[in-house]
Amino acid sequence: MGKKAWGGRFKKSISKIAEEFSESVSFDKRLYDEDIRGSIAHVKMLSKQKIIPSKDAEKIVSGLNSIKKEIESGKFPFRQELEDIHLNIERRLIEKIGRVGGKIHTARSRNDQVLVDIRLYLKTETSEIIKLINKLSSQFVTLAEKNIDLALPLYTHMQRGQPVLLAHHMLAYYEMFQRDSERFKDCLKRINVNPLGSGAGAGTSFPIDRDYTAKALGFNSVSKNSIDTVSDRDFIAEFIFCCSSMMMHFSRLSEELVLWSSKEFDFADLGDEFTTGSSIMPQKRNPDMAELTRGKVARVYGSLNSIMTLLKGLPLSYNRDLQEDKEPLFDAVDTVKACLELNTEMLKKIRFNKSAMESALSGGFITATDIADYLTRKGLPFRDAHEVSGKIVGYAEDKGIELEDLEFKEIKKFSKLIEVDIFEYISVQGSIESRKSYGGTATDNVGKMITQAKRTLKNNK
């Protein structure tokens, strides 16, 4: 029973330590469904092409279906000595239907079989991730819409810069995650290719029909070079890059959530459901979920590094090194899905603190740029306008008051171009509403962007 599928020419059996070292069934068993789907399509094609008799194909298909049930009910005997999921299923098939089960591997090699499994798996997971991104994105849009009357400072160099709508800030995240979604969609094109029929790497002498299996498995196209096909793991590297880029976005979101929920900022409250207490300091409410999300970015970058290093310098075509592609891939998939789900739920509970944002907007001469813009519109070169505005700020600072609390005659002293309408521009609201340029923070603009985003999200469904 312990006989290897490849045992024909071997006199001694593999050592226990080598068997343990090289097994992959402990982790590739998660590909069982894809493996069975791939085998069923392959066997139907073999029968259609009269490479095997149709009654043999029928037996194999029903055997595979009953194996699927065994696996799903937890009764399947996974055996480490059978190395991987492919050989475990094949051996079980032979046990169940007899030697005819061995026909399943006609015109196929594990080198193309493993690629069918991973590509099918990634097709499903990528579509799932795109759906989850859509859910997260719509949460940003909901937050934008619900908080359209809230403003906060735009920070540059972590210094208060200019007033912006919180909604505009939320939509910045929407844009970032939409780009991620687009990247995954594009990656899907390279995932969605039929590798089956490349055999060990040279093709096969049997009259197979690769278009048939492509269609049966829902692949959009058929790979063109059998050597490249069994060597290629680019689509995995690309997929993990897409994950990494999205995780980088998550790390920036997490960082802001950590800052915003601190007493120092106090812009946001993550709610009891998504924070933890300290076992020693009773006053604390820790943003652990945001911190863990930020921390998990490291794992995904690690996976990217693993796959890139795995592929570097590897000669064509299949080398056993490639078995090491799976664990980083699975870990990246699990991590990004968990982060998407968790953060979507967490953002449903977040509450923003209007008064903390308002006090951050006051006391920092945050509309100084607006004075400069005002003077520039009146004809002063921007550099000179910047200088004048700086002097006004210095004056207000010495007096210990806000720009909008200055008397008209005080401001007027700095430039004869200044009229009373300046006050319309140096209020927070005036500053925000003046930024009507496409992509700017004026309420009208942001409102239009919300409408547009909702439409995009609906079409993405």
388-397 per-residue burial string, b: 16 or more CB within 10 A, e: under 16: bbeebbebbe
* Choices 72-80, 109-117, 359-367, 447-455; region in contact with ligand ARG by CB under 6 A: 109-117
Q: In terms of CB distance, is 60 or 114 closer to ligand ARG?
A: 114
Tell whether residue 114 is a contact of ligand ARG (CB under 6 A).
yes
Which positions from 330 through 389 interact with ligand ARG, judged by CB under 6 A? none
Q: 265: which 2 tokens?
A: 């900022």
Closest CA to 115 of 12, 213, 261: 213
Q: Can you tell me which of 34, 35, 81, 84 binds ligand ARG, judged by CB under 6 A?
A: 84
Nearest residue (CB) to ligand ARG, 312 versus 320: 320
Residue span binding ligand ARG (CB under 6 A) among the ranges 136-144, 263-271, 319-327, 453-461: 319-327
As a whole number of angstroms, the distance between CA 379 and CA 389 comes to 14
Does the protein bind ligand ARG through residue 229 (CB under 6 A)?
no
Of 431, 443, 447, 434, nearest to 153 by C-alpha is: 431
Residues numbered 25-44 forming contacts with ligand ARG, rule: CB under 6 A: 28
Min dist. Cβ of residue 115 to ligand ARG (A): 9
Q: How far apart are CA 423 and CA 430, in angstroms?
A: 8
Select from 104, 240, 322, 329 the one that contacts ligand ARG (CB under 6 A): 322
- # residues near ligand ARG by CB under 6 A: 10
Binding part of the chain for ligand ARG, among 60-68, 170-178, 260-268, 317-325 by CB under 6 A, reads 317-325
Given the residues 157, 205, 355, 437, select the one marked as catalytic. Answer: 157
Q: Quick one: tokens of 49?
A: 């092409």
Binding segment for ligand ARG among 91-99, 108-116, 276-284, 355-363 (CB under 6 A)?
108-116
At residue 269, φ and ψ (nearest 5 deg) are -120, 120
* Residue 89 binds ligand ARG, judged by CB under 6 A: no
Helix (H) or strand (E) holding 93, with range, is helix 85-97
Active site residue 157: yes
Is residue 88 within the footprint of ligand ARG (CB under 6 A)?
Answer: no
CA angle 398-401-404, nearest 5°?
125
39, 47, 111, 445: which one binds ligand ARG (CB under 6 A): 111
Task: Give the span between the Cα atoms of 317 and 269, in whole angstroms.
Answer: 53
Catalytic (active site) residue 278: yes
The DSSP bridge partners found for residue 276 are 286
Asked if residue 323 binds ligand ARG (CB under 6 A), the reply is yes
CA–CA separation, 440 vs 168, rounded Å?
A: 8
Cα 180 to the chain's mean position, in Å?
A: 6
For residue 277, the minimal CB distance to ligand ARG (Å) is 44
Cα–Cα distance measured from residue 113 to residue 221, given in angstroms and rounded to the nearest whole number:
16
Among 42, 92, 108, 110, binds ligand ARG (CB under 6 A): 110
Output the six-digit token pair for 147.
Answer: 């908080």
Q: Determine the Cα–Cα distance for residues 70 and 93; give it in Å rounded to an integer.
A: 11
> Please, what is the minimum distance in Å from the beta carbon of residue 435 to ligand ARG?
54
Of 429-458, binders to ligand ARG (CB under 6 A) are none
CB of 278 closer than 8 Å to CB of 286: yes
Q: In angstroms, what is the minimal distance from the CB of 316 to ligand ARG?
A: 14
CA distances from 246 to 161, 327, 337 (A): 27, 19, 11
Min CB(34)–ligand ARG separation in Å:
13
Stretch in the footprint of ligand ARG (CB under 6 A) among 65-73, 314-322, 354-362, 406-414: 314-322
Catalytic residue among 54, 262, 278, 359: 278
Q: Pull the structure tokens for residue 27.
A: 């982790």
Nearer to ligand ARG among residue 110 and residue 119 (C-beta): 110
| Residue 323 C-beta: closest distance to ligand ARG, Å | 4
Nearer of residues 26 and 305 to ligand ARG, judged by Cβ: 26
Q: Which two tokens stand for residue 174?
A: 């929407």
176/329 with CB nearer ligand ARG: 329
Would you give the DSSP letter of residue 262?
Answer: S
Task: State which residue, 23 or 70, has the beta carbon closest to ligand ARG.
Answer: 23
Percentages helix, strand, coil for the chain (3-state, rounded to 5) are 65, 5, 30
Q: How far is the CB of 266 from ligand ARG (least distance, A)?
A: 51
In one letter, which amino acid is 299? R
CA angle 414, 422, 449 (to 5 degrees): 135
**Torsions phi, psi of 194, nearest 5?**
-80, 115
Q: Which amino acids are annotated catalytic?
A: 157, 278
Contact residues for ligand ARG (CB under 6 A)? 24, 28, 84, 110-111, 114, 318, 320, 322-323
